[in-house]
Amino acid sequence: MDDLVTYSTNGRVAHVTINRPAKLNALNPAIALGLEAAWQRFEASDDLCAVLSGAGDRAFSVGADLRDNPLDLWRGVPDLGVHLSKPVIGALHGHVIGGAFVVAMHCDLLVAAEDTVFSYPEVAVGFTGGIIAGLASRIPHKIAMEFMLLGERIDARRAYDVGMVNRVVPVGQHIAVATEWAERLVAGAPLVTAALKEFVRAATPPSPSESAARARRVLVGIQGSEDRVEGERAFAEKRVPDYRGR
């Protein structure tokens, strides 16, 4: 993970930041892989909650960098690229566009500054990964269709009214409030938090692309495993493979 995605810890709260403010945190392949590495680190760590934010004053993220499109963005989406047993709180401000909304949508809780504006322009752009379709199982169907098909901008207040975010706060306070919530979660019973998160995941219908991403996550792990290398080597050497499950 490079400095396009930063990770720090304070009191068992992980702070993950998309750090490309000069480009309004536009998402490229390096950021997708950086987020994936951050979620892997978080899941393996003693941290009990993560706060995800975007650097700079203007945007959480303006979505995919169309000059360097992260076609495997799913790898950086929490709970898609990495299975997480611990909660993630999104701290949003400014523009949240396209793929950036997909990342935010998969956080467990969302705190939005009053200047947050959501949009999904993929119909106009001519590309989608399809994961966004899961929004229809998270907010009212007709609002989800309006957001996806018409590309209408939704401000923070309306987002709160339709259930897209949990809290709207004054500009500049989104990270502080998200961190306060994270500290409350850290003080709770982690086994209960993990159980409820798992049950809610099972109760939330995924989009076809979400299901495909979860399957792809498993296959990528196999393809990159030591066992795959050992299996191919053993076949070439005509011997019994010594698999280690890693």
Q: Judge whether 124 lies within some domain.
A: yes
Tell me the pLDDT tens digit for each residue of 99-140.
999 999 999 999 999 999 999 999 988 888 999 999 999 999
Q: Judge whether 142 lies within some domain.
A: yes
Look at 220 and 144; give whichever has higher pLDDT. 144
> pTM here?
0.91
Q: 81 is in which domain, residue-wise?
A: 5-206
* pLDDT for position 34: 97
Q: What own/partner pairs with CB < 8 Å and gap ≥ 24 does 41-45 have?
A: 41/1, 41/7, 41/14, 42/7, 42/14, 42/16, 42/82, 42/84, 42/86, 42/88, 43/82, 43/83, 43/84, 43/85, 43/86, 45/9, 45/14
Domains in the chain, number: 1
CATH classification at residue 170: 3.90.226.10
Tell me the pLDDT tens digit for each residue of 42-83.
999 999 999 999 999 999 999 999 999 998 999 999 999 999
Q: Judge whether 224 lies within some domain.
A: no
Q: Judge whether 104 lies within some domain.
A: yes
Q: Judge whether 221 lies within some domain.
A: no
Tell me the pLDDT tens digit for each residue of 165-222.
999 999 999 999 999 999 999 999 999 999 999 999 999 998 898 888 888 888 888 8
Cα 195 vs. chain centroid, distance in angstroms?
A: 20
- Residue 169, φ and ψ in degrees, nearest 5: -130, 160
Q: Judge whether 31 lies within some domain.
A: yes
* pLDDT for position 1: 44
Q: Judge whether 14 lies within some domain.
A: yes
Q: Is residue 2 pLDDT above 60, yes or no?
A: no
What CA–CA distance (Å, rounded) separates 108 from 133?
17
Q: Judge whether 198 lies within some domain.
A: yes
C-beta neighbour count of 221 within 10 angstroms: 11
